[in-house]
A and B are shown apart, each in its own frame.
Chain A
Amino acid sequence: MLVYVRLVLLCALVYLALTANVELSNIGVGVIIGISIAVVLRPKPEPLSLSRLPFVLINLARYVVWLSIDIIRNGIRVARIVLDPKLPIRPGIIAVPSSMKTELGVALNAHAITVTPGEQVVEIGEDGTLYVHCLDVDSSLAGMEHAQRLRKEMLSRIFE
């Protein structure tokens, strides 16, 4: 039941954000949309505690800030490669062991890698190994272990 309530609330909140107009009729429509989505999706019941919510939100904010900094830093790096007349790319695909255990964790890990410019997950193996295409193999290899450890730390705090 609590899972349904959470999903309906989330959908209603997104709808309100999109209309950007907090009126009673909009809240009503948002709740109706949320209920229809919940009926279609039928989320599985899972244990969740409201006391962890502030902790999760703080860690989510930290993760978003860290990811933004990573995206900007790598974006500038890729921009410099593209603008360089010699085009100094050293492309290749490297295997990176996924730091996460659950399927959702692996997917979010892959998302975090792909969203940073210069690195992109091409394939995910059966055992959760991520095959990452890099524009610059050496620098990606050097930074990957540290970045994966940080990602694991932050994602597991949010989702486990």
Chain B
Amino acid sequence: MDITELRFLAATLVVVIGTLFSLIGILGLVRLPDVYARMHAVGKVSTFGVVLLTAAAVLTLSFAWSKALVLIVMLVFTGPLTSHAIGSGAYRLGIPMRQALRDDLARERIQD
């Protein structure tokens, strides 16, 4: 087994894991009850799914790894930002949480 074959095998494994996590993320988007819980599942697609697929691209193609590194850093920084913005926006609009056990933020608002 030569090195290109090994790289291809590793890339296939990474693609399978990345796709699996994306699939689970979408399943979570459908199954979870409210906006806030769904954001957790969606966030997983952007972190695991896209980062692993980028890693696979570096492994198979003679794709520049530095491009992939910059891409991954930007994704890891912007992903949480969007999910925070959506979650925060939903809370300000007053969209209720389902099955919530506690809400420290609501308690804070009442005291104000």
Contacts and interface: CB of A to CB of B under 8 A. Distances in A.
Nearest to B74: A14
Contacts of A89: 32-33, 37, 99
A142 B30 CA distance: 28
18 contacts: A18-B66, A20-B67, A75-B47, A78-B41, A79-B21, A89-B33, A92-B101, A92-B103, A111-B81, A114-B43, A115-B76, A117-B44, A120-B39, A120-B84, A121-B87, A122-B105, A125-B108, A131-B104
Interface in B54-100: 64, 66-67, 69-70, 76-77, 79-81, 83-84, 87-88, 91, 97-100
A114 B102 contact: no
Contacts of A95: 104-105, 108
Contacts, number: 120
B24 A137 contact: no
A7 interface: no
A30 interface: no
Interface residues of B, number: 44
Contacts of A111: 77, 80-81
A68 to B, nearest CB: 10
Given A91-B100, A114-B84, A82 B105 contact: no
Interface of A: 14, 16-18, 20, 71, 75, 78-79, 82-83, 87, 89-95, 110-111, 114-115, 117-123, 125, 131, 133, 135, 137
